[in-house]
Structure 1
Amino acid sequence: MINAFLVFNGQGQPRLTKFYTQLDTSIQQRLISEIFTLVSNRPPGSCNFLPLPPLLASASSSSPNSPDAPSLVTYRNYATLYFIIISTATESPLALIDLIQVYVEALDRLFENVCELDLIFNFETLHAALGEMVVGGAVIETGMERIVAGVRAQGTVAKRPVNEGKGGGLTGGLGAGLGMGGMVWHGR
């Protein structure tokens, strides 16, 4: 089960926070601040998943609705953004990495070369795309065309992408994008 899906920029500012497990607001805030530090300080070449540290795991398990399985942090870094999933250890970390990849590619198609400004000014689209993929912490869809079509059918995509005509993207000023058209993969 997915407990949370988080997106941070390189400075640790949350761009998306979605919790599927009932947690007190104070615990959510603590997880948000400490998870970014944990992931951003990983050395280059580290694998993209790790156990949730005991201190955070005990905080997240204090919820009456949280599962007893230990928690796992899975993440990918694209350009200036970190995409992070906190899940039970019963979830396949490789499947979660693929889920993040599908999410980024869906955003790239929805925004035509997504950049951080798209995430800031069109947060409804971020939530709609995630809502097409994950419901109640369970993955329900990973088909790119169905996700994009579902979001477009909801009418939550901006009529004109924020980065249109700017060269789009997140590196080198606002250089190359997140998605497949200009994806910058940092092999962590």
Structure 2
Amino acid sequence: MIHFLMVVSKQGKPRISRFFTRQANQITMQNAVTRLCLRDGKQEGFVNYEDLVLVYKLYVNLWFIAGVSQDENELAILELFQNLVETMNEYFGKVTEVDILFNMDRVYMIIDEMIINGNIAETCRGRILVPLQLMDAAK
């Protein structure tokens, strides 16, 4: 199960964070997780943190970090990151940190289409983008 998903800048500033389970102190946890993953120095990896496994990957200038249960497949989470980036690239063109900052509502919609209650629900980019395309067409 995915407990949270975060997108963090290279400087460690959180850009997107979605918690799927209740955490006692989310801000403290976010800061600790960010420091732990960025300090590692690798571009991707797995780290144990309390009762979770942190899966993280660097895409250009953004870190994608997920806290998952011990029994979750870490490689599937890396594939989820790749699918998320490809989906955002398809929607925004070539996604940048600025796109994420100015279109947070759309990024959250993409994440919510992909992950429901901490479980991966949809991986088909076409289906993920349908609500956004409908919303854009209504303008």
1:71 aligns with 2:52: yes
1:49 aligns with 2:30: no
In 2: Cα distance, 1:85 partner to 1:44 partner: 15
The answer for unaligned runs of 5 or more in structure 1 is 58-69, 160-188
Give, in whole Å, the separation in 1 of the partners of 2:131 and 2:45: 29
Which amino acid is 1:49 matched to? F
Aligned residue in 2 for 1:5: 5
Give 1:11's aligned amino acid: Q
For residues 21 and 42 of structure 2, what CA distance do their matches in structure 1 show? 30
> Aligned with 1:142: secondary structure?
coil
Q: 1:10 to 1:149 in 2, by over 3 A?
A: same
SS in 2 for 1:48: strand
Say what the alpha-carbon RMSD is for the aligned residues. Answer: 1.7
1:28 paired residue number = 26
Q: Equivalences for 1:1-188 in 2 at 5 Å? A: 1-24=1-24, 27-44=25-42, 48-52=45-49, 57=50, 70-153=51-134, 155=135
SS in 2 for 1:130: helix
* Change in CA separation of 1:150 and 1:72 when aligned onto 2, cut-off 3 Å: same
Structure 2 runs not aligned, ≥5 long: none
Structure exhibiting the larger radius of gyration computed from Cα positions: 1
Partner of 1:65: none
Q: Is the 8 A contact 2:46 2:55 kept in 1?
A: yes
Question: Closer, same or farther in 2 for the Cα pair 1:43/1:128, shift >3 Å?
Answer: same
Aligned residues: 138
Return the offset for 1:156: 6.4
Secondary structure, in 3 states, of the residue corresponding to 2:16? strand
Q: CA deviation at 1:31?
A: 1.1
Q: Distance in 2 between matches of 1:139 and 1:72?
A: 17
Per the normalisation by structure 2, the TM-score is 0.92
Indicate how the Cα distance of structure 1 residues 156 and 13 shifts in structure 2: closer, same or farther if over 3 A, else same.
farther
TM-score (norm 1): 0.69
User: Would you tell me which structure has more strand in proportion to its own residues?
Assistant: 2
Deviations 1:41-82 (A, max 9, x none): 11337x511211xxxx2xxxxxxxxxxxx3110011011100
Q: Give the helix-richer structure, 1 or 2.
A: 2
TM-aligned CA deviation for residue 149 of structure 1: 2.2
User: In the superposition, relative to structure 1, how do residues 151 and 91 fare at CA in structure 2: closer, same or farther (>3 Å)?
Assistant: farther
- 2:98 maps to a residue whose letter is L
Conserved? CA contact 1:74–1:93, under 8 Å: yes
Describe the SS at the equivalent of 2:22. Answer: coil
